[in-house]
Amino acid sequence: MNKLKAVIVKEILILSRDRAGMAMLFVMPVFLVLVMTLLQDSTFKQLDEKQLPVLIINHDADTFGLKILEGLKSSKFFKITEVENIDKQDFVQKIEKGEYLIGIIINEDATRRIRQSIQLNIQQQFPEEVGQLFEYEDNASGQARVEIIFDPILKSSYKQSILGSLKHFSAMVEARLMFEIYSGLFKDLLSIELKPTSSFDDIVNFDEKYASSGTNKIIPNSVQHNVPAWTIFAMFFIVIPLASNIIKERHSGVSARLLTIAGSKLISNLGKGMTYFVVGFIQAILMLFIGLFILPLFGLPSLQIGGNGLALLVVTIAVVMAATTYGIAIGNIATTEQQSSIFGSISVVILAAIGGVWVPSFMMSDLMLNLSKISPLNWGLNAYYDIFLRNSGLIDLLPNIALLLGFSFVCLFVSFLYSKRGLN
Amino acid sequence: MEEKAIIVIQDLLKRYKNTAKNALDSLNLKVKQGDIYGLLGPNGAGKTSTISMLCGLLPPDSGEIIINGTNLRSKPDKVKAMIGVVPQEIALFEDLTAKENLMFFGRMHGLKKDEINRRGNDLLEKFSLTEKSNKRVKTFSGGMKRRLNLMVGIIHGPEILFLDEPSVGIDVQSKNVIIEYLKEINRSGTTIIYTSHLMEEAEKFCTEISIIDFGREITKGKPSELLENNKDCENLEDVFLKLTGRNVRE
Ligand SMILES: Nc1ncnc2c1ncn2[C@@H]1O[C@H](COP(=O)(O)OP(=O)(O)O)[C@@H](O)[C@H]1O
Ligand SMILES: [Mg+2]
C-alpha cells in the first residue's frame, strides 16, 4: 500500500510539474469547449429550426385524422400547429403570409369515406347472391379528401417530404381500416371473433423515412454535442503525457531499475495507470461542470445530463480506461518521445475527426458515418449522446461500453507484448 | 578453509537477438563475501550484460547464477531483495528532486519514511548534495547525477552491490568520494561487484579482479597476483592491454 502510494505521489509530482502536459489536459479542452460551443451554436440552432411549420385543421375526429395528426406530430421534421374553428380564408392567409409553410385540411368524414370505399371494394369481391354485406351511409359517399396548401417558396423536396409522410400515414390507416372491416365480416358471416391486433402499429411501422430530407439520427444542440465531444477528446490527450512518461522511464533506465527491485514494477505500472485514470476522471468532472454552470453564463443552454448517473459513471470509466490504455500502448510501442507525441496527437486528432468530435456524426455522409464507427472516440460520444439525449440505461449502452473495454484490453495486451521487447 | 562464495556464475551464455556472436561465452565467476570484485574489460566485453543478468534484468540463454545460495532463475525476488544496483546510465527521475528520488526508490525497497529520511540525509551529506537536495535532478551536473544515481542504489543498505561503471564521466573529486564511500560500506560487510575499464582505479580499489573480453574470462586474481604473473608489465593497464590487445573496440 505504501509502495502504491509512493508511486502515485511520484506520478502526481511529475505530472504537476509538466506545464505543457497540464495545459494540454486541462486548459485546452476548456478553451475548445467554450469556443466550439459558441461557434457552433447558431449552426445547431439552424438545424433545429429545419422543422417545417405546418398548420392543420382536422375535421375528421376519427381514425384517419387522428393518426395523421399523431404521425406528423411525432416527427422531428414538422412543427405542427392544430387549429379549430377557423375560416378557410383565414387559414389560407396564414400560409400566404408565411407564418406557416404548409397548411393541411383534413375534411369531414374522411375516415367514414375511406371505410365506405373499402366496403364497396369488398362487396365487389363477393358474388351477387351473397347480397348486401354492409350498410352504407349516404353522407359518406365520395372520396376522402385532404387539402394541402403550400407556401410557394417551399422547396420541392419539402413538398415531397410532407406528401410522402401523408401518403404513408394514410396507407397505414387504410390498411388498419381494412383489417377492421374484414374482422367485422368474419364475425357477422362466420361468427369467428378475431382478436384485436395490438401489434397492428408495429406491422405498419411508423418508420420515419421521409421522401427527402429525413433520417432518424438524433440531433443534439451545440452544448449537448460539444461538451461530451471535447471531454472525450481531452481525455484521449492523456495519451501524450502518459506515453512520454513511459518512454522517459524506459530510456532513463528507471524502468530497468524498478525491475531490479522485487515486486516494484507491477506496482509502478498499476500506480501510473491509476494516476492517469483519475486525471481523466477529473477532466470529465471539470468538463461536465463547465457544461452545467459555465456555458449558461455565455448565453448557451445548460448541459442536460439526463437522469442516469450510474450510466454516466460507467461510460466515463470506460472512456477513461480506453484513453489511458491507449496511452500505455503508445508508450510501449513508440521508441522515442518525439515519435509518441507526434503519433499520439495525430492519431487522437484523426480519431476525433472520424469519430464525430469536430463535425458531429449526424452531419456526416453515410460513408463517413460508417467510418466513424471505427473510432473509440465515437463509441464514447455515442454513449454520451445516448445518456444525455435518449436517457438510455446501461443495457442500451452495453455495446459501446463493451467496445471501449475491448479496445482497452487490446491496448493492454499489445503493451504487454511490447514491454517484453528489449529484454532479450 | 576457503571463504564463502556469495556469487557463483556457471557457464553463463548469452547471445542477443539478431547478433552473430555470443555477448557472453561460457563465463564463470566466483565472488567471495566481502570482496570488492572488479569485472574489467574493454567496451563491448560483456560487463553490462553480466551485471544485467546478475540482477535479474536479462535472462541468460544458459548457465546458472547463484547468489547467496539462491538460484536466481528459480527465486528472482529473493535474490532481488539482497542486492542493490547502480546502473551504468543515470536511472533517475529528472523532474523529481534528489530527496523525492530517494524517497520513491526507498519506498520501492519497502523502507519506512523515517528510515529513508535518516539514511537519505546521511547520504546527501556524504556526497555533498545536501544543499541541492530539494532541486530537480535535471538541474544537476553530470557528477551530481552520478552521485545520486549511486545513492539511490544503496539507500536500502544492500548486502550485495552491483555497480556498472560508476566512475564514468565524473571529476576526480566525485570519483574519490564514491570510491571512499564504497570502501567504507565494504568494510561494514557489503560485497561489491563493480565494472570498469579504468585499470588504475581498479588496481587501487579492488580486492579481486577478473578481466573479460568477448564474453570470456581472460584472467583473474588479486591485483598483486596479476602483476606477479605478468612480470613484463608495469601496472594493470599494461596487463590489460597485453591481454586484450591494442585494437580499438566498440
Ligand atoms: N540489447 C542488445 N542487443 C544486441 N546486442 C547487444 C545488446 N546489448 C549489448 N550487446 C552487445 O553485446 C556485447 C556486450 O555488450 P555489453 O555487455 O554492453 O559490454 P560492456 O558493458 O562490457 O561494454 C557487445 O558486443 C554489445 O554490442
Ligand atoms: Mg557497459
pLDDT at A139: 63
Q: What is the mean pLDDT of residues B231-237?
A: 81
The angle at the Cα of A73, spanning A154 to A95, to the nearest 5 degrees, equals 35
Contact between B158 and B79 under an 8 Å Cβ cutoff? The reply is: no
Q: What is the mean pLDDT of residues A309-313?
A: 92
Q: In what order do the strands lie in the sheet with A102-106?
A: A78-83, A52-58, A102-106, A146-150
pLDDT at A81: 86
Contact between A197 and A179 under an 8 Å Cβ cutoff? The reply is: yes
Whether A263 and B107 lie within 8 Å, measured CB to CB: no
Q: Give CA A72 to chain center in angstroms.
A: 21
Q: What is the mean pLDDT of residues B211-226?
A: 89
Our CA-based measurement puts residue B232 at a distance from the nearest CA of chain A, in whole angstroms, of: 41
Whether A6 and B103 lie within 8 Å, measured CB to CB: yes
Amino acid at B200: E
- Cell digits of residue B62: 544458459
Q: Convert A400-420 to b/e letters by CB count within 10 Å (16 or more is b).
A: bbebbbebbeebbebbeebbe
pLDDT at A211: 34
Amino acid at A291: G
pLDDT at A216: 39
Whether B108 and A253 lie within 8 Å, measured CB to CB: no
Q: What residues have CB less than 8 Å from A151, skipping those under 6 apart?
A: A95, A96, A98, A100, A101, A102
CA nearest neighbour of A104 among A55, A144, A142: A55
pLDDT at A213: 33
* DSSP labels, A294-350: IGGGGTPPPP---S-HHHHHHHHHHHHHHHHHHHHHHHHH-SSHHHHHHHHHHHHHH
Residue A176 pLDDT greater than 90, yes or no? no
Residue A203 pLDDT greater than 80, yes or no? no
Residue A241 pLDDT greater than 80, yes or no? yes
Closest A-chain CA to B107: A3
Whether B90 and A423 lie within 8 Å, measured CB to CB: no
Dihedral angle of Cα B184, B185, B188, B190, to the nearest 10 degrees: -140
pLDDT at A214: 33
Test the A interface: residue of B65, B99, B104, B168 with most A CBs within 10 Å: B104
pLDDT at B3: 67
Residue A210 pLDDT greater than 60, yes or no? no
A264-289 vs A309-333: helix crossing angle, rounded to 10: 130
CA B33 to ligand 2 center in whole angstroms: 24
Question: Domains in chain A, ordered, with CATH?
Answer: 2-45+213-421 (no CATH), 51-190 (3.40.190)
**β-strands A52-58, A102-106 pairing:** parallel
Contact between A26 and A286 under an 8 Å Cβ cutoff? The reply is: yes
The angle at the Cα of A81, spanning A79 to A84, to the nearest 5 degrees, equals 165
Contact between B108 and A264 under an 8 Å Cβ cutoff? The reply is: yes
Our CA-based measurement puts residue B103 at a distance from the nearest CA of chain A, in whole angstroms, of: 8
Contact between B37 and B193 under an 8 Å Cβ cutoff? The reply is: yes
Whether A3 and B110 lie within 8 Å, measured CB to CB: yes
pLDDT at A423: 56
> Higher-confidence residue: A45 or B160?
B160
pLDDT at A212: 32
Q: Which atom of ligand 1 is nearest to the CA of A424?
A: 1
Q: What is the mean pLDDT of residues A385-396?
A: 85
The SS3 of residue A40 is: helix
Which ligand is closest in space to the CA of residue B16? 1
Q: Which atom of ligand 1 is nearest to the CA of B215?
A: 14
Q: Give CA A128 to chain center in angstroms.
A: 57
Prediction pTM value: 0.76
The SS3 of residue B169 is: coil
Q: What is the mean pLDDT of residues A346-372?
A: 88
Residue B173 pLDDT greater than 90, yes or no? no
List CB contacts (< 8 A) between B17 and chain A: 424
List CB contacts (< 8 A) between B92 and chain A: 252, 254
CA nearest neighbour of B93 among B85, B103, B79: B103
Q: What residues are neighbours of ligand 2 (ion), with CB under 5 Å?
A: B 47-48
pLDDT at B246: 64
Amino acid at B159: E
Work out the pLDDT band at A209, boundaries 50, 70, 90. very low
pLDDT at B198: 84
Q: Which of A1-5, B95-99, B172-176 has the highest mean pLDDT?
A: B95-99
Residue B135 pLDDT greater than 80, yes or no? yes
Residue where the block lists cell 569485472: B39
Helix (H) or strand (E) holding A20: helix A19-22
Q: Given B55, B92, B96, which is nearest A260 (Cβ)?
A: B55
Our CA-based measurement puts residue B104 at a distance from the nearest CA of chain A, in whole angstroms, of: 6
Nearest CA to ligand 1 atom 12: B23
Residue A380 pLDDT greater than 60, yes or no? yes
Q: Which of A87-96, A139-148, A246-255, B184-193 has the lowest mean pLDDT?
A: A139-148
Our CA-based measurement puts residue A74 at a distance from the nearest CA of chain B, in whole angstroms, of: 60
pLDDT at B117: 97
Q: What is the mean pLDDT of residues B101-115?
A: 96
Q: What is the mean pLDDT of chain B?
A: 91
Proportion of chain A above pLDDT 90, given as a percent: 42
Residue where the block lists cell 508508450: A331
Q: Which of A87-101, B60-74, B89-103, B209-223 has the lowest mean pLDDT?
A: A87-101
CA B45 to ligand 1 center in whole angstroms: 8
Helix (H) or strand (E) holding A57: strand A52-58
Whether A256 and B87 lie within 8 Å, measured CB to CB: yes
Helix (H) or strand (E) holding B9: strand B5-14
Q: What is the mean pLDDT of residues B21-30?
A: 92
Nearest CA to ligand 1 atom 27: B44
